[in-house]
Structure formats: C-alpha cells, structure tokens
Amino acid sequence: MAIPIYASPAERAWQYAYRVICAAIFIFLVAPILIIIPLSFNAEPYFTFTKEMLSFDPEGYSTRWYDSLLTLGMQAPENVRDASWWSDAWNNATWIKATKNSLIVGFWATILATVLGTLAALGLSRPEMPYRRVIMALLISPMIVPIIIIATGLFFFYSNPCGIAGFSCGRLTATYIGLIMAHATLGIPFVIITVTATLSGFDQSLIRASASLGANPRVTFFKVIMPLILPGVISGALFAFVTSFDEVVAVLFIAGPEQQTIPRQMWNGIREAISPAILAVATLLVIVSISLLATVELLRRRSERLRGVTPG
Amino acid sequence: MKKLLILSTALTLVGFSARAELTVMSWGGAYGEAQTEAHVKPFAAKSGIATVMVDSDNPATPIKAMVEAGNVTIDVASVEYADAIRLCDEGVLEAIDASTLPAGADGVPATEDFLPGAITECGVSTDIWANIYAYDTTKITGTVPTVVADFFDLEKFPGKRGLRKGAKAVLEFALMGDGVAPADVYATLGTPEGLDRAFAKLDSIKSEVVWWEAGAQPPQLLADGEVVMTTAYNGRIFNAAVGEGKPFTIVWDGQIYENEMYVVPKGAPNKDAAMEFIAFATSTEGLQAQAQQISYGPARKSANATEILYKDGKTVMGPNLPTAPENLANALETSSTFWVDKDAELNERFNAWLATN
Amino acid sequence: MSEAMTAVPLTTSDGRPLKSALASAQLRAKRRAFFLVAPLLLFIIVTFILPIGQMLHRSVYHDGLSANAPSLKAWFAANPEGTVPDEAAYAALAADFKTMKVDKTAGIAGTRVNYTLPETRSLITATARNADDLAPPYKVALLAVDPKWGDPAVWQALRSASSAYTMDFYLISTDYERSPDGTIQRVPENTRIYVYLFVKTFILSALITVICLFIAFPVAHLLATLPMAKANLLMILVLLPFWTSLLVRTTSWIVLLQGQGVVNEALIALGMIGEDGRLKMMYNQAGTIIVMTHVLLPFMILPLYSVMKTIPPSYARAARSLGATSWTTFRRIYLPQTLPGIGAGALLVFILAVGYYITPALVGGADGQLISNFIDFHMDKSNWSLAAALSAMLLAGVLVLYWLYDRLVGIDNLKLG
C-alpha cells in the first residue's frame, strides 16, 4: 500500500485522505460495539458518560448492573450471599435461566446441524452427486428466506405437526425439541458453506490412495477425511452455535415461557425499558463473540496451512 | 467434548425438571410486578402450585393466536374489558362460573359484591384502570397542562409527546382533545366524519409523537427526557412517581377508564388451577393486595370498603384511583361494544395512517 | 480401425461389458453421494419446506365462513350466482346463526366475510348475538335485526366467502378490494398501505445496499492491498461485528443515537447543537437505515475483499505506465475487475435487507417499519391468511433475487469470513 514514487502531490493527498476515510469506517464498525463496555460499568442509570466517568473517578463506576443480572428473578435477593443464596440464583435468576436455555438449545442445535450438514457436504462435494445445484440451493435457503417467514411457517407446523398427515400427535411449540430443530435448520447453511469450502481444497485422490492401501471407507473417513476437514467442521459448528445463540424471532414465535433464551430476554429489555443491565449482558456477549472469533481465525489458518494454501 | 456433552445433558435435565405448573400472562413492568406480588407469589405459597408470570405488550393478542393454532401455553391472562368480551364471543376463552368466586370479606356473595359489569361470561375484573396523560414537572414549569386539549397544544407546550401505538383510547383521546364531550365521543367516532376528525387531530401532532407499545415504556420515556408528556396507564405513572420518587404529575382530565379482566384461554393446560387462581386473586383480600401495589381501583365493593394504603405504608390510594370522584370530572368509560366490533377495522386504518403520509 | 473397436466391446476382468460396469459403478457412486445428503434433505423438508408450504396454503384458504355456515353454503351451491336470496336463503342464514351462537364461531365467520367486504364483521357478530330471537319468516326477522341483510353486496360477499379457497387475501395485500357489484377496485386512499410498504421496503433495502457498497469498497480495497499481516489484523475489525449478537449491536446503537444518547450528549457538550436541537436518529427511518447498514456491512466487505484480492496489481501499474491517470486507471481497469464482488455483495445485502425484521422492530419507530414487521403484526392479530399472502409475495421477491444470485455469483461462492 506504499505510495508509488511517481504519484503526483494530488494523488498523495488523496492517499492520505483515503486512509483517514478507512480509519473512520473501521471506527464505525467497531466503536459501537466497544462503547457499551465502559457504559455497562456506569454507577448511574444513564446511557451516557457521566462527569465522574469521564474524570475516571472510581465513584462513577460500579458493577451494580452485573449484580442485577444475578438478582433479577430471585426469590430472596436481599439475603446473605451464602450457599442457599447462590442456589436460589442458580435456580431462579432470570438471566441464569436464560443462559441455561441458550446453552441447551445452542448445543443440541449445533450437534444436529453439524452432523447432518457435514454428511451432506461430503455428498455434495462428490462429483457424482445428482441434482447438485438444486439441492445445494435448497439447503442454503434457510439463510436467505426471511426469518419471519420461517418462524411463521414453524408456528403453524409445530402447533400440529401431524396435521399434515391428517391426525393429531401433540405439538412441538413450547418444547425444547421444537426449538432445537428450528435452530438447527437455521444453522445448517453455515455448516454446509464452511465444510464444502474446506472440501473444495480437498484432494479426492487421497480417498483412492487410502482405499488402495487397504483402508475400508470407515477408516478412510475417520483417519483421512476427518482430520483434514475438521477445522472447517468446527468453524461451521461455531457458526451454527452463534446463529442459535443470537436467534430471537423463532424463539418469539415457537418457544414457551420455559424456553426463554438470552436474546429473548434482551428483546424484552430493549423494547420495554432499556436499563444498563442490558449493557452488562451485551458486554458479556461481546466477550463471548471475541473468543469465538479468535477460535475461528485460528482454525482457518490451521486449515489453510494443512491444505498447503498460504495463510491469508 | 465429552465433558461438554455431560454438562449439556445435565442442563437439559435441569431445564426439563424446572417446569412451572401455572403460567399467568400479564402486561409486564409495574403492573406485572403488582400482580406477581399480590397474586402469583401468595397463590403459589398457599396452594403449593408453582406459578410463573410472563409478560406481553397486550396479553389479549397472543391468546387468540394460541387458541386458534391449538397451541395454548398459558393458563391465565390479564386482558382489557373489550378484549375479554370479544375473545369470549369468538370462543377463545373458557367460561368462568361466577358462583365459584368467593363471597366478599363481609359475606356478600360475589355476584352482588362485584361492581356492575365486573363479572362477564368469561372474565372476572381485577381492577379499574385508566389511560391518562402525564408530564415531568421539572421539564414543564410555569404554566402546567391541566386539560386534555393541552396535550395537543404544541405551541403552549412544545416538545415530544408519547402515545400508545394502536387505535384504542388514542382516537377517543384525540376527539376529547378536540373538544368533544365524553358523552358524545363514541357517537362521533362511529361516523366517518368523526373518525376523520380524530385522525386530523392526531395529524396535528404526528411529527412530534414517540409511539410506545409496552406499558413500561411511557414512564421510561418521561424519565429519559425523550418526551415532555405522554399518555400512560395511570398505575405506571403512580408507581414511578410515588414508588420511585420521579417528578411526574398525572392530568386526569380526559381520562379513559375500564375494567381489567382475568380470563382463561380455551384449552389452557391447567384449567382447574387457573380457576382456583382467579378465585384467589379476585377475593376481597386479593384485590386489596393488588391495590396496595399499584393505583388501580378494586372491582369489589367490599375491597373498597376500607381505606387502602400503598405499600410505602403512608400514601392513601383513594384519590389516586381512576374512580375517585374528583378524577371523574371529565372522564370517559371505554365502550366495549364499540371496540368489540370496530377493533380490527380501526386498527387497519390506524396502521395505514401511521405507516404512510 | 474404429469399426473394429466398436465391434469388440471392451470387458472388465470378470467378463462384463465395460460400458455397463462403468454405468453401474457410476450409479453406485451417485447413490452413495445421495445417501450422504438424504438425511439432511429429509430434515430440511420437514422443518423448512413443509412448514412454509403449509403456511403459504393459508394465503388462499380460509374456512372461517364455509366451516361454520354449512346451510348457507349448501344454498349457495344449489343456487347459481345472481339468484336473489329467497326465504330459504334467509332460513339457512338464520339456522347457521343459531349454531354460530352456540359454538361461538360468529367472530371467526364475521372476520372472514369482513376480508371480502369491510364492516360486515359487526353485522354478523351482532346478528349472531340475537340469533335466539330469530323466528320465521326469517327474511323479515333478519331485516328487522339489520336492514343491511337486504343489501345485495352483503350477499355477494357471503357467497364469495362461503368457498374456503379464495384470492381475496392477495387482493388485500395489493390494496385492492371487491366493490359491492363484484368488480375489483383499489381501496380508498386513506387505507392503502401494502403496496406502499413493499415499495418502501425495496427502496430502503436498495438505499442500504448502496450505502454499504460505498462504505465497503474503500475498506475492502485497503484490506486487499495491505501486506498480509496488517490486513489480517484489520480483518478482525470487520469480523468482530459479524460475530457479535445482533441484539447487542442494536442495543449499542440505541445507546449511541437516542435523544439522550452518547452522540447527542457529545454534540451538546461540544456546543455543536443546543439542548433543543437534539438530532432524531433513533426510532425512525434514520435509525433503521443506520443500524441495518452497520449490521449488513460485513456481508458487503467480505465478497468484495475476496474478489479484490485476486486482482493483480500489475494491471494498474501497466495502465499507469501507458499514460492513464489514476482516475482512469481506477475507472477503466480496476473497477470492472471488481464487478463480480460488487454483484455478489450487493445482491446478498439486498436479499438479507428485504426480509429484515428485528432491527426495524426495535429501532424503526413508526416510519421505519418494513414489510416483515407487518407480517408479524398480522400474525399477532391472527389475520393468518393475510400474513401468509404478504409472506408469499415477499418470499417470491426473495426467491427471484436468490435465483439471480445463483446465476450470477453461484451459491458455491458464498463465503463466510
């Protein structure tokens, strides 16, 4: 990006302006995410920097909003913080319940999406796969179709899943299973995309080499294919997990009071009265996303190294 | 990975075992809290039935969708009077046998103890509440708004206004703001010209309106200084002003009041417990307990017989209730028959008005 | 020579003709590939295709009247269109009202007729409420309840609604209605909304796409031309928003932009605006545009970046050495080579923007709502057929764009990070 020596003064000026513009855009991208971190430690219930905060007066900062995340919904939040207080928080605190739900649903949705998605990606990357293009388009479409349409469809379908066959067999709304299936559906396109991308650099002759050396398909899969595509599978799984972890519309439509997740609680908080407690949750989620991002980046580089592609 | 799996399985079991038995849906915020403290917690303690409260912007809305889709996940809901009648007409609610309601503390049977109209085929009233408007006394000093017309007077009181996003109560409020007497409001609103007149009045402040949906929003909008005055449910403002010491004042002129009803959606998973809950919550003590939490008037004569104090132990609730004589000077009772029939139509018009021009 | 080749077919070692052996091996491979995909395909059909198909069915199906007014339906079936309703018709109507009152189905029946002819819902529910008092002669009795029962338009609407299959919801979704004489006309100006909303949704999405493109282009170029180590570091700044919860980002923007938010406070502290001059950037169209631009920006940067990275810098140098100015070089040499990236990014951002729901719902206020928010509104109000018709139209738009994306870009080229 060095400025070439033949550049005219006007071009030099433009180069500097260009860098300023880019810096401004990077600030636009990241600043809104980072600004909530200091604000979540505000001692006052305001959403802007108080005088005390700007002068770095410790009085201006507090962890009261983080504390309120624990106490909201507890039976007896004002008691002494002994073992029974913590068990009360663990069982009753609204945000802890929401976290449990998010983890349960996210975990199983990820497993489902990753297993089904990886198998399908293996099939799709074979040159013999019939109707490849159409099927691929179909499997990616949950990412493209507006979520409100998917959620609406699921709301009716889950109300009476067997209705389509003409009989009744209970329902899937307000169940964990239903929500897990919905989130898996939304996560599948990400698994397909990342795993097929990894497989596109995969040398198919390795499979024949493995077979010619006497390995059966199962051994070939676990000893040859899996280690090579694992980074792609894991980043696909992370994408699927994040999709579920961040999803609110399907939860709004098909979850019951027992399946309230973190985004669902945030949705309530933002719509009714945003208190700095929301900022505390947001800060914790930003930390989660930074660590997930770091994981994916490391995996991507490892995968490229393994496949002999230069990093970048 | 294996550890994660075990942890997750354990969490799943925790999640499944912590099933609540009775779910009550209310309006969230101060009102939801009041009903949690006055009804949900005592009921759970007394009956041993685990009871949870969930929030909605307007519980009547999800009920219909749930019942029609065969998808009922709640047992009791707190809905507006017209909605209780409309949903009952549509077969979406369970009928409530009034004879199962407990007699008043003074022994008068429930059917006579409740105020007229407070028991319907499918609902039992918990309280009488009002749509009022309120302002922040630190923001508006000097001349203060006193009548409903002041809400629409941008010259006298410049600044943003909060209004509920929906046709009900907003259209009546606009007509009263335009000088229509409460007795003539529904007759006027029933004519195309009257309806245009209401929208024309709203047009005059449209550019300055911040629309709210959840009842918890208006006190927040006032507190944040996002609006100088806002319509609100009176109890929310009372709780913010008296309970949290916010400098809010209610203008009672032009208030629109109605009954709030507990109803049971058809096909509720725990119908019997739901009926038990309603009987418990609408007893003299149940209604008084709620009135100690929020300034809505109890719907039973016996519950109004003694003076009720707010939970701070000193504020007398009487003058803060919509039904206090001094608050009823220029007040309108919501016409349930009008809204039962016109709700869908007028909301359609309202949405078109809101989204366009 | 070639004749000799075809005359003696090649065989495999066990004596089968090579051609058929290859064909069957090919078939086996095909089947094996398909079996790997089959479980997912089945899963997607159950949790995605079937639900959406079933929902779309509702856009042409509403049995609110037909299921609850069997006698009336029978009368319509027996009498062709244009028949003046006789006493038998009124008797059928009265009989249905009596059952409706018992079953409490007048509301749903009225709702259905109201879609075809506004202001008939209250007519039906009010009549059903008085159904017990209806006695022969029914025509007189019904007209006594409400003279509207003599109106041919009402009967026309009843006939139309008595069939469960209908196109009425698509009429409503395009701001049309049936006039009393059965012709199709636009609804009065003050209730027109859906065409406006569709147009607005598309215009706002296009605007957001263009803003994204202008912001993404310089950044993608910088990333593509910087040395690898620096580019990787800056790439993290692009990917961080991508990985951050949508609700977190929306919250941040509310905190920044609301009336009492960080930006307004900062501007006031700097003396750039007065206390009364606070900018309105939240809970309106501006809020929707700003936040959606931020949310969708990575979807523009990433495809642009991956295309720009493949453009050899030597082309630009060659153009310069041949005397082109830097502007000409950019316009004639560089820009055309980035077109695939622009196409991919713009289409992706546009497709995602058209169906957006969460951000407009939280920050859009009154005028920043998109079509998805109205689908939700009608779902809430259980106007399911209308919600389904609006969904179908939105879905059709999105699928056309998706098809275009596949043709121009190829789904295989969709990349994430």
**pLDDT digit string, tens, across residues B221-233:** 898 888 999 999 9
**pLDDT of B94 strictly over 50:** yes
Percent of chain B, pLDDT > 90?
Answer: 55
Kindly indicate the confidence band of residue B6, based on its pLDDT and cuts at 50, 70 and 90. Answer: low
Write the CA distances from B119 to A44, A188, A235, B261, B262, integer angstroms.
Answer: 45, 52, 59, 8, 10
Inter-chain touch C48–A141, beta carbons under 8 Å: yes
Please check whether residue C338 is in contact with residue C312, taking contact to mean a CB–CB distance below 8 angstroms. no
Question: What is the arithmetic mean of pLDDT over A129-141?
Answer: 91
* Residue recorded with tokens 């605190």: A93
Write the CA distances from C390 to A148, B99, C182, C285, integer angstroms.
Answer: 11, 46, 23, 21
Scanning B114-161, the segments in alpha helix (DSSP H) are 148-151
pLDDT at C1: 46
DSSP C79-120: S-TTPPP-HHHHHHHHHHHHHHHHHT-HHHHHHHHHHHSTT-
Token pair listed for C78: 């027996």
> How many whole angstroms from its chain centre is CA A174?
22
Residues of C in contact with A266 (CB under 8 A): 245, 247-248, 251
A248 touches chain C (CB under 8 A): yes
Token pair listed for C93: 């109507």
Express each pLDDT in B286-309 by its tens digit. Answer: 999 999 999 999 999 899 888 888
> Distance, in angstroms, between B70 CA and closest chain A CA?
6
Which ipTM did the prediction report?
Answer: 0.89
Of C106, C121, C379, the CB nearest to B65: C379
Residues of B in contact with A100 (CB under 8 A): 11, 14-15
Decide: helix, strand or coil at residue A24: helix
Residues of B in contact with C381 (CB under 8 A): 61, 64, 344, 347
Classify residue B5 by burial, with Cβ atoms within 10 Å: 0-12, 13-18, 19+: exposed
Classify residue B115 by burial, with Cβ atoms within 10 Å: 0-12, 13-18, 19+: middle
Please check whether residue C143 is in contact with residue C149, taking contact to mean a CB–CB distance below 8 angstroms. yes
Express each pLDDT in C15-33 by its tens digit. Answer: 788 888 888 888 888 898 8
pLDDT at B14: 41
User: Which DSSP state fits B102?
Assistant: P
For residues C53 and A150, what is the distance between their CA atoms, to the nearest angstrom?
10
| Closest among C69, C159, C146 to C109, alpha carbons compared | C69
Question: How does pLDDT run along chain C (417 residues), one tens digit per residue?
Answer: 445 455 677 887 777 888 888 888 888 888 988 999 999 999 999 999 999 999 999 999 999 899 999 999 999 999 988 888 999 999 999 999 999 988 888 888 988 998 888 778 888 988 988 888 888 889 999 999 889 999 888 998 899 899 999 998 999 999 998 777 778 889 888 888 999 999 999 999 999 999 999 999 999 999 998 988 888 889 989 999 988 999 999 999 998 998 888 898 889 989 888 877 788 888 889 999 999 999 999 999 999 998 998 888 888 888 888 988 888 988 998 999 999 899 989 999 999 999 999 999 999 888 889 999 999 999 888 889 999 999 999 999 999 999 999 888 887 777 665
Q: pTM for this structure? A: 0.89
Please check whether residue C242 is in contact with residue C417, taking contact to mean a CB–CB distance below 8 angstroms. yes
Cα angle C269, C270, C272; round to 5: 110
**Dihedrals φ, ψ of B311, to 5°?**
-60, -15
Residues of B in contact with A156 (CB under 8 A): 69
Between chain A and chain C, how many beta carbons pairs sit less than 8 Å apart?
Answer: 277
Kindly indicate the confidence band of residue A271, based on its pLDDT and cuts at 50, 70 and 90. Answer: confident
Token pair listed for C288: 């929707």
Total length of chain A? 312
Chain A neighbours (≥3 Cβ pairs under 8 A) are B, C
Write the CA distances from C311 to C17, C55, C339, integer angstroms.
Answer: 50, 46, 11
Decide: helix, strand or coil at residue A201: coil
State chain A's maximal CA–CA distance in angstroms: 78
Write the CA distances from C349 to A117, B303, C208, C211, C302, integer angstroms.
Answer: 24, 59, 8, 11, 11
Q: Which residues contact A111 (CB under 8 A, 6 or more apart)?
A: none
Looking at every residue in chain A, the average pLDDT score rounds to: 87
Inter-chain touch A159–B70, beta carbons under 8 Å: yes
For residues A226 and C336, what is the distance between their CA atoms, to the nearest angstrom?
40
